[in-house]
Each structure stands twice: as C-alpha cells, then as structure tokens.
Amino acid sequence: MKEYLYVLSVMLLLALSSCENLDQELEISISEDQVFSSYDYTKNRVNSIYSELQNGFTPIDDAMMASITDEAEFTIETSAVQSFNTGFWNATSNPDNAWSSYFRGIRKANQFLGSADNVDLESYRLNPSVSSQEDYQRRLAEIENWKVEVRFLRAYFYFELVKRYGSVPIITEYLTLDDNYLDYPRKSLTECIDFIVSECDSTADKLNTTVATTDLGRVTKGAALALKSRALLYAASDLYSNASWAQGYSQPELITVTGERSAKWKKAGDAAKAVIDLNVYSLSTSYSKLFEATNFSNNEVIFCRRNGATNNFELVNTPIGYDKGKSGNTPSQNLVDAYEMNDGTPFDWSNPVHAATPYVNRDPRLKISVLTNNTPYKGRPVEIWTGGLDGKGKALATKTGYYMLKYVNPTLDLLLDKTSVHSWVYFRLAEIYLNYAEALNEYDPGNTDIALYVNRVRGRAGVNMPALPVGLSQDEMRQRIRNERMVELAFEGHRLWDVKRWMIGDQILGGKLRGVEITNTGGVMTYNPIDVESRTFDSKMYFYPIPQSELNIKKDWVQNPLW
C-alpha cells in the first residue's frame, strides 16, 4: 500500500480547556486509508483546519494590521509591515501572504469533506451493547457536525481571500497531483460572495445555536450568520459596487458585485438583524473584559480563536522602558482624536482645556485601548515625555506618544516568563450592531433602529457614552457610525478593510500619521500634536495583486487593476 507522510495537528480544539500550543504538530508515517478511516485522525484533521484561522496579534512580522492604517505605527522600522506604508510592495513581495495560507486551509477542508464519510465505525455498529450503540450514534453525529463546521471554515477562508484579492477560484473538490489546477478560473466577485453567503445559510441551518462550555470556540449558528452579515456588508459597500477607480479595467466583474445598491444594503441589514434576533448574545458589561484572558467565554463574543498561554504579544507591545518591552504597535494621534469627550462632544486641540489635559474626561474606551502618558502601569506611571523612561531619546521608544493596551496583559512578569491565554475575537455582537446600523442608514435613513443600535454600543455599562444627537442627516449619521467603528473596534482588524470598502484610502491610508510631542517642565506636561510620517496609497491598493507565482501558471488570468 502506498505510504504518505502526514503532518497532523494534535492541538486540542480551540474550545478545550487546556492551554496547549495550538500549533503543536506530530509527524507520522501512515497510509492514506488509515488516516481517512480513523476516527481519532479525522478529529485531528478537523483541529488542523481550525488551526488555519489566522489570529490578528502578530500577523506580519510581529506587527498588527492596525499598523498599516491610521490606527498605529509599528516601532521597528525594518519590519516587513512598513512596506505597506511606503508603497514598496507588489505581486512578488506582499508581506501579507494570505493567498497561500488560506488556500492551504481550503485544500485541507476539501480533503476532509471528501473523505469524512470513510471513517470506520463498524466495530461500534456491529456491537449490540447499549454503550457501543450509543457511541456509534454519537460519533456519527460528531462527524456530521464536523463536516458542517469545516464548510463554515472554508467559507471564512474564502471571505478572507475575497476581501484582499477580489474574485478568486472557487474550488470545492480536493485536488490531487493528477488534477489540473488550470481548470479552475477566477469566478466573478458576485459568484464568490454568493458562494460564501450560500454556505453560511446552509451551515447556519445545521449548526447549534449554543455549545457546551467545554466546546467554546467551535463554530455555531451565530458565527455562520455573522460571517454572512459581514460578507453582505462588504458586498454592498462602495468598493464592491464601483469600478471607476480601476480606470477601464477589462474585467470589472472580478472586482465588483452586481445588483441594485439599496437591495444589497437591505440584504446586509437583514443578515445583521438575523444575528441579533437569535437572542443568544449580549453586550458585555465590561468593555475591558472583551480583551482579557477569559474573553472566550464572554457572552458578547460570537466566534474567537482561543490560543495557548503565551507572552509574545506583551513582549512585542510593552513600553520600551519596562523589562523586555519592545514598544511594538504604537497607537496614533489620529485614533486618539477619534475618541469623544465623555459628554459626546468632539475632542478639539484648539480648545485650551482639551489641549492641556488631553486624556481627561474622554470616552472610557480610550484608557482601555491606549496607554497614555503618566498613566500608572506595572508599578509606575508610564513616562512618554521626551527624555522619560518610555519617551523619545530611548531607542525604539514610541514615535506617536502612545503605547498599546488593548489585548495586553499588564500583570505578566516578563522577566519570569509568565504567560496567559490570548483569544482573538473574529465576531462579536457590537460589530453586528454597527453592521446593522450602517446598512440601515444606507437604504432606510431615518429609521429609528439606526440610532438605537449605535447608542446601545455607546451606552453599554462601563462605557456610558451619551446617545447620538437627534436629527442627524444621513451623511452625518454615516460619519458617526464610521467613527464609532473606529473607536469600538480599534486594533481588532477591521479598520484597513473598512477604509478600503468605503473608498477613502487616499485620505486615510495615504495621509499623515499623527502623534504627540510631550515635554515635561518641572512636572508640568505640554502636549503638541505632530506629524509622524507621510504614508503612500495608490488606487491599485484597494485590492492586493494576484501573486505573480499564480500568474506564471495561469497565463490567461488578468492581474488586478493598475498593478
């Protein structure tokens, strides 16, 4: 019998209570039939597909995606992430190498779906004992549920590709060396979105609404509907509905979704409302707990990846003046200015009271997400002024005047190599509320649900920001919703794609990244906003280029616009 070498992940599923390293692998040499017929190996194959979910803590050379937006600057100038900000990336050199990683996950999913029915359960089926028959029925049900979970994961991988590259090939069969990859062209973007939405609908009908506490982290009905909500929101947005930026691109169907805009927005709104109407999730009464070690069990979280206990995120993002700190992803003034005063009015540098004490009486989410000057941290106030322990004058000190706090566990003793669990959240209820409000504002402006759901996000316990003003125009509401997304979802991997789908990349991604210069005169702090760097954005960057390695094989493919 022909032998194959299989690398099978033996990490536990995301939901399990153990904090083992999810990337642990074991190399074993066994036959293909043994792999496909074994219940245990089949379970491990499901785990391996879950492991292809990319978390957002350190996706590019230790940097977050936030550092290629107006949210942050990555302190290490030699990091690959900087090429996005300078414009020095292309089809042969893209730091976010998502094409190969997500198609690897799709290939695993297709292989699993093509072989899951081959699991040998005959020893249970033929045993007449009650316990064996119960085990047989339980395992049959588990395999059926795994198949549904894997279909969702495949749809998620496809969405991650679509938001980066536009249309891609839709492959649902497991391709072997004997199959011809050239037989799979890029589908239209409409077909890609339709496939993702169809898979979400189909899997949502079969998935459980809730899972046992021992299964937290597994795909649920809510996760499938949340992915549908996000996919349809993107499909209705400006970028997916307008090819004029592409300057006469010969195949606009690869970068646009057909359909009347109002109808697309309504579908997006209805999809978000379907998640809300499950009545399973509720806004957390503590915004900070959404980003702490136990967030995987928070009732606001719809789907997350529970990673093993580590301290890598803290090592990367702790201020430079603390033991083993590297500064890492440093929040921008652009982001900090987006946080309102706690009475709901905008922060204004021209207001002398605001300028003198810029972090007083602000939206409470600011101090949970961003570490500001003179804030107590790990036993002392952080000193971000020029000449301070964490300020300019020290190598790798923040250039923006801020440090990361969201998702950071400040209690870890890095000298003693202490660790904690970090779970990356893919979907949570606040995003769904904002998805719903945004879609509703586009096709039914003035609907009372718009302000209702934005205000629920703003007014959650522990945040308690005042309601939006009454009587906002459609455009005024649009800008308030966009600002709310920036603040509420800061550093959670949304900003880059939001800015692109709204087609404001030239203003945001190609604008000035701002910071603050802080001076300390006898204990009196003075704050002056500064430009940190000028960034580069061209229209071609709305979508990634198709990797040149793919175009070398697929000679008939047309590269994405303007690359």
Tokens of 180: 């011809």
pLDDT for the residue 31: 72
Tokens of 226: 């949340």
Q: How far apart are CA 345 and CA 339, in angstroms?
A: 9
DSSP state of 383: -
pLDDT band at 180 (very low <50, low <70, confident <90, very high): confident
Strand partners, 310: 420
Q: How far apart are CA 444 and CA 476, in angstroms?
A: 14
Q: How far apart are CA 237 and CA 542, in angstroms?
A: 13
pLDDT in tens, 227-270: 999 999 999 999 999 999 999 999 999 999 999 999 999 999 99
Contact 475, 353 (CB under 8 A): no
pLDDT band at 554 (very low <50, low <70, confident <90, very high): very high
List the beta strands (DSSP E) in 16-126: 25-31, 72-74
Which are the contacts of 118, defined by CB distance < 8 A and separation ≥ 6? Answer: 36, 37
28 backbone dihedrals φ, ψ, rounded to 5°: -140, 145
CA dihedral (29, 33, 37, 42) positive or negative: positive
CA dihedral (174, 35, 11, 317) positive or negative: negative
pLDDT for the residue 326: 97
pLDDT for the residue 29: 63
Annotated domain spans of the chain: 304-424
pLDDT in tens, 375-408: 999 999 999 999 999 999 999 999 999 999 999 9
Query: With 60 as the cut, is the pLDDT of residue 418 above it?
Result: yes
pLDDT for the residue 213: 85
pLDDT band at 181 (very low <50, low <70, confident <90, very high): confident
Q: Comparing 168-182, 367-381, 543-557, which segment has the lowest mean pLDDT? A: 168-182
pLDDT for the residue 5: 37
Which are the contacts of 154, defined by CB distance < 8 A and separation ≥ 6? Answer: 105, 106, 109, 110, 113, 172, 199
pLDDT in tens, 518-541: 999 999 999 999 999 999 999 999
Q: Comparing 78-87, 170-179, 193-202, 225-234, which segment has the lowest mean pLDDT? A: 170-179
559 backbone dihedrals φ, ψ, rounded to 5°: -65, 155
Which whole number is the average pLDDT over 458-473? 97
pLDDT for the residue 35: 79
Task: Kindly state the helix (H) or strand (E) to which residue 516 belongs, with its residue range.
Answer: strand 512-521
Closest CA relative to residue 247, chosen from 536, 540, 546, 509:
540
Which whole number is the average pLDDT over 33-40? 83
Query: With 80 as the cut, is the pLDDT of residue 24 above it?
Result: no
pLDDT for the residue 277: 98
Q: How far apart are CA 224 and CA 515, in angstroms?
A: 39
pLDDT in tens, 142-154: 999 999 999 999 9
Which are the contacts of 105, defined by CB distance < 8 A and separation ≥ 6? Answer: 49, 52, 53, 153, 154, 157
The residue behind tokens 């509420």 is 488
Neighbours of 103 (CB within 10 A): 18
pLDDT band at 28 (very low <50, low <70, confident <90, very high): low
Which are the contacts of 7, defined by CB distance < 8 A and separation ≥ 6? Answer: 25, 26, 27
Q: How far apart are CA 531 and CA 486, in angstroms?
A: 20
